[in-house]
Amino acid sequence: MLGRRNPQRSLFSAQSLPHQVDPDSFYGRMGAISSQLFRDDDLRDMYCPDNGRPSLPPSLMSGVLLLQFFDDTSDGEAVERTQYDLRWKVALDLPLDFPGFDPSSLSVYRKRLIENGQERYAFDRFVEAGREAGFIPDKVTLLTDTTWVKGAGAVQDTYTLLRKGVRKLLRALGYHLPGRRRGLSKQIRELVETYVDQDRKAEIDWSDAQARAEQLKVLVDDAEAILNLAAEQADDAEVRAIGWLLTKILGDDLVTDEDGNPQIGEGTASDRIISMTDPEMRHGRKSASRRFDGFKNSVSTELTSELILDITDVPAPGSDGAHLMPTIERVEAHAGVTVERVIGDGAYGSGDNRAACTNYPDHSIDLVAPLSQPHDPEVDKSAFHIDLKARRATCPQGHTVTGKDRKDRQGRPILTFAFARSDCETCPLFARCVRSKSAGRTLCTHPHEALLREARQRQQTDEFKDLYRLRGRVEGKIAEVVGHGLRETRYLGEQKRQLQRLWTGAAVNLKRLFKLAQAKNVNLGVIMAGLSPCQMALAPG
């Protein structure tokens, strides 16, 4: 049942008594609009209307959650701060004798938000406040980039992945329950006792290669035996999912030698599972020298207000640019704006992204992202003149050939230009230009070749350089969010992770709203008081 805050302020309210909390600090400004910041009725649909004990007021819990992510505290410390930290008492408008509550209430409240599709509540509310105050225009320029974040799960080696995978599959099959073990064969019963009841790392000499090889064979044989057993319950979704994980580990990490024995393969599969605790974690790289284990987090801000309009996790491997169009769609759907320009680094400047922005429904989007500079400009494809209409390509030495129709790996039409070996051999750039030992130089166009060539010409202009300099602002915003704990993932599971990202972003946005309101002399409390859930048009996820 919904609990509400008493509008009657206590005689012992922190705001009613003299205190030393700076009114211009984040806590002081939050306290000044505490009654308008969150409202109990906004989240009344999360509670039973006529049965049960009154809950802790959702307006209070939302405020505590916001401060928890702003100060990057644990649940236990957050509750202690409501009791002992004067800054939190002022920000939440609490009495000095506030008794606190059990830390598990925060966990229950987060779960309730997720179950009711309200994990975006604070984030969307503050973005809408920025829209209502006029800080965010109808047509926006989006600055976007990613940063790495750690996963909450333990990174495990192949031996541990197999052992934990077998254990997890046995538990999904129900064999952790004594009643389910009746009628099992001796082999399976022993496996249950080994992996479910004991679950210990094998006591072998791990410095001995032969002992490791023998243990690996045992793990693989046991995994295959349990997978065969699980095939009989393939209609169970959880069993299928865990069975797929275990099969993927076997396929990604292992190879078979000439004697038929399993060995750990060389190299690393691009989508390799690294944790059975959090199977969504992956190895990733932000540069050749920076490897991380977890996820990448995409942050997109609006140029003029510097408010975050989108913050979400994306898979660690792969290009950042693959997530550009979903980002634009989310921003337009949740913020109610039109994205007219996107500024990002070279990862976003692919031909596919340029085509998608050019042909975006209802309006085109100006994509400002550089293309990589060639290592040897004199022999790079950009040095060749390609006439797509005439289907001809001319090399820097003046040799011209006609293109032939081909298709790329996705089945899209492209042109291939093959220069004669005899012509290439007379060229002074031959050694740098031609890699083949028998043929001449070959060029393949991109399906969006015209857009790429246009972009390469544009990035030489002063207009492009002036726009691209603005991209640094999103890096500053990312550094700010990281300072509030973004780098450390607290929870397992996509929905819980996303809640952490959104509420951290909401805390940073509220800090920015305070600055904008002060600079433009806007009463943010009045703006917040006028917002309703219908205006915000909240959407799950």
The predicted-structure confidence for 209-267, as pLDDT tens digits, reads as follows: 999 999 999 999 999 999 998 888 778 889 999 999 999 999 999 999 888 899 999 88
Q: How far is CA 467 from CA 338, 373, 376, 438, in A?
A: 19, 18, 26, 45
How crowded is residue 385: how many other Cβ atoms within 10 Å of its Cβ?
13
pTM for the whole structure: 0.91
Q: Is 525 within 8 Å of 33 (Cβ atoms)?
A: yes
Structure confidence at residue 16 (pLDDT): 72
- Ranges of each domain in the chain: 158-264, 381-458
Determine the Cα–Cα distance for residues 214 and 210; give it in Å rounded to an integer. Answer: 6
Structure confidence at residue 187 (pLDDT): 86
Determine the Cα–Cα distance for residues 126 and 237; give it in Å rounded to an integer. Answer: 38
DSSP code of residue 439: S
Phi, psi dihedral angles at 423 (to 5 degrees): -70, -40
Helix (H) or strand (E) holding 147: strand 139-150
Q: Is 28 within 8 Å of 15 (Cβ atoms)?
A: no
Q: How far is CA 463 from the centre of its chain?
A: 31
Which residues face 295 on adjacent strands? 149, 315
Among 130, 118, 125, 7, residue whose Cα is nearest residue 531: 125
Determine the Cα–Cα distance for residues 190 and 130; give it in Å rounded to an integer. Answer: 62
In the chain the first and final C-alpha atoms are separated, in Å, by 25
Phi, psi dihedral angles at 529 (to 5 degrees): -65, -25
pLDDT digits (tens, 9 = 90+) for 495-517: 999 999 999 999 999 999 999 99
Determine the Cα–Cα distance for residues 446 and 450; give it in Å rounded to an integer. Answer: 8
Structure confidence at residue 536 (pLDDT): 43
Which residues face 143 on adjacent strands? 301, 343
Q: Is 367 within 8 Å of 379 (Cβ atoms)?
A: no
> Is residue 411 helix, strand or coil?
coil
Phi, psi dihedral angles at 483 (to 5 degrees): -65, -20
DSSP code of residue 194: I
Which residue ranges in the chain fall short of pLDDT 70?
Answer: 531-541
Contacts from 517-520 at CB under 8 Å and sequence distance 24+?
517/133, 520/133, 520/134, 520/135
Which residues face 140 on adjacent strands? 339
Q: How far is CA 430 from the centre of its chain?
A: 45
